[in-house]
Structure 1
Amino acid sequence: MNNRFGRFAVITIVIVLISGIFIQHISADNGAPFKDINNSYAKNEIIDLYHRNILTGTSATSFSPTKSITRAEFITVLDRLLKLDKAVSPVSPYTDVAQKAWYYGWIQAAVQLELANGTSATTFAPVKAVTRQEAAIWVTKALMQTNHTSALTSFDDRKEIASWARSAVATVNDLGLMKGDNRKNFRPADPITRQETAVLIDRVLQNESWAAELEDEPEDHIVIGWQYAQTTAQYENTVLKSNVNTLSPRWYYVAKSGAVTDSTDASLITWAKKNNKKIWAMVGNRSDQEATHQILSSATTRNTAVNQLGALVSKYRLDGLNIDFENVAADDRAYLTSFITLLAEKMHALNATLSIDVSPDLGTDWTDAFDYAALGKQVNYMVMMGYDEHYDGSKLPGPNASIPFDQHAVDTVLKVVPSHKVILALPLYNRDWTLNQNGTVSSSKYISLSEQNQIISNNGMKPVWNESLGQYVANYSKQSIKHTIWIEDGRSLIAKYHLSIKTNLAGIAYWYIGGESADIWPSLSNAEKFYDYTF
Structure 2
Amino acid sequence: MASAFMFGTLTPVSAASALPFNDISGSFAKSEIVELVKEGVVDGTGNGKFEPKKNVTRAEFVTMTDRLLKLSSVQADMASFSDVTPKSWYYGWVEAAVQLGIAEGKSKTQFQPAANITRQEAAVLIVRALKVDPGTSSAGQLPYTDSKQIASWASSYVMAAHTLGLMSGAKGQFRPSDPMTREETAAVLDRVLQDKVWAKAIHQTTDLGLQLGWQNGLTTAQFKEKIKKTNVNTLIPRWFFLENAAVPVSNYADATLSTWAKQNNKKVWAMLGNHSDSVLTHQILSDESKRKAVIQKLAGYVKTYGLSGINVDFENVSPEDRLPLTAFISELGTSLRSAGAVLSIDVSPDLGTDWTEAFDYEALGRYADYVVLMGYDEHWDGDPVAGSVSSLPWAEAALNRMLASVPASKSILALPYYTRDWTLQSGGAVSEELSLIQQGQRIKSVAYNRVWDETSGQYVVSYNRQGVQHRIWVEDGRSLALKTMMGAKRNIAGYAYWYIGAETDDIWSSLKNAMRYASY
Give the structure-2-normalised TM-score: 0.93
- The answer (yes or no) to whether the contact 2:13–2:20 under 8 Å persists in 1 is no
Cα displacement (A) at 1:163: 2.7
Q: Which of 329, 332, 351 is matched with 1:362 structurally? A: 351
Amino acid at match of 2:273: G
Distance 1:242 1:371, change over 3 A: same
Cα displacement (A) at 1:407: 0.9
1:387-406 aligned at under 5 Å gives the runs 387-406=376-395
- Between the aligned partners of 1:28 and 1:479, the Cα distance in structure 2 is 70
Q: Does 1:477 align with 2:464?
A: yes
- Between the aligned partners of 2:14 and 2:191, the Cα distance in structure 1 is 25
Aligned to 2:281: 292
Q: Secondary structure at the match of 1:199?
A: helix
Aligned to 2:150: 161
Amino acid at match of 1:273: K
Q: Does 1:42 align with 2:33?
A: no
Distance 1:52 1:417, change over 3 A: closer
- Between the aligned partners of 2:460 and 2:47, the Cα distance in structure 1 is 42
Q: Secondary structure at the match of 1:270?
A: helix
- Between the aligned partners of 2:367 and 2:458, the Cα distance in structure 1 is 35
Amino acid at match of 2:201: E
Q: Does 1:215 align with 2:203?
A: yes
- The answer (yes or no) to whether the contact 1:354–1:381 under 8 Å persists in 2 is yes
Q: Percent identity?
A: 48
Q: Does 1:173 align with 2:162?
A: yes
Cα displacement (A) at 1:282: 0.5
- Between the aligned partners of 2:390 and 2:273, the Cα distance in structure 1 is 23
- The answer (yes or no) to whether the contact 1:93–1:465 under 8 Å persists in 2 is no
Cα displacement (A) at 1:153: 4.6
Q: Which of 292, 315, 318 is matched with 1:326 structurally? A: 315
Amino acid at match of 1:43: K
Residue range with higher mean Cα deviation, 412-421 or 353-362: 412-421
Q: Which of 461, 483, 489 is matched with 1:502 structurally? A: 489
- The answer (yes or no) to whether the contact 1:470–1:492 under 8 Å persists in 2 is yes
- Between the aligned partners of 1:212 and 1:39, the Cα distance in structure 2 is 30
Q: Does 1:97 align with 2:84?
A: yes
- Between the aligned partners of 2:41 and 2:378, the Cα distance in structure 1 is 42
Aligned to 1:7: none
Cα displacement (A) at 1:25: 9.0
- Between the aligned partners of 1:244 and 1:233, the Cα distance in structure 2 is 16
Aligned to 2:303: 314
Aligned to 1:336: 325
- Between the aligned partners of 1:463 and 1:350, the Cα distance in structure 2 is 52
Q: Secondary structure at the match of 2:499?
A: strand
Give the structure-1-normalised TM-score: 0.90
- The answer (yes or no) to whether the contact 1:93–1:462 under 8 Å persists in 2 is no
Bigger Rg, which one: 1
The count of aligned residue pairs is 506
- Between the aligned partners of 2:412 and 2:485, the Cα distance in structure 1 is 13
- Between the aligned partners of 2:206 and 2:135, the Cα distance in structure 1 is 26
Aligned to 1:231: 219
Aligned to 1:184: 172
- Between the aligned partners of 1:504 and 1:149, the Cα distance in structure 2 is 29
- Between the aligned partners of 1:206 and 1:27, the Cα distance in structure 2 is 28
- The answer (yes or no) to whether the contact 1:91–1:463 under 8 Å persists in 2 is no
- Between the aligned partners of 1:276 and 1:306, the Cα distance in structure 2 is 27
Q: Which of 463, 488, 491 is matched with 2:475 structurally? A: 488
- The answer (yes or no) to whether the contact 1:92–1:463 under 8 Å persists in 2 is no
Q: Which of 461, 467, 491 is matched with 2:448 structurally? A: 461
- The answer (yes or no) to whether the contact 2:488–2:515 under 8 Å persists in 1 is no
Deviations 1:208-263 (A, max 9, x none): 33223222211241110011111111111111111111111001001142711122
1:28-107 aligned at under 5 Å gives the runs 30-33=18-21, 35-107=22-94
Q: Does 1:440 align with 2:396?
A: no
Deviations 1:263-319 (A, max 9, x none): 211111111111111111100001011111111111111111111111111222211
Amino acid at match of 1:223: Q
- Specify every segment of 5 or more residues in structure 2 that has no aligned partner in the other structure, as ranges: 1-11
Q: Secondary structure at the match of 2:355?
A: coil
Q: Does 1:417 align with 2:406?
A: yes
- Between the aligned partners of 2:38 and 2:17, the Cα distance in structure 1 is 9
Cα displacement (A) at 1:65: 2.1
- Between the aligned partners of 1:517 and 1:153, the Cα distance in structure 2 is 46
Q: Secondary structure at the match of 1:250?
A: coil
- Between the aligned partners of 1:439 and 1:126, the Cα distance in structure 2 is 45
Cα displacement (A) at 1:522: 1.4
- The answer (yes or no) to whether the contact 2:208–2:515 under 8 Å persists in 1 is no
- Specify every segment of 5 or more residues in structure 1 that has no aligned partner in the other structure, as ranges: 1-23
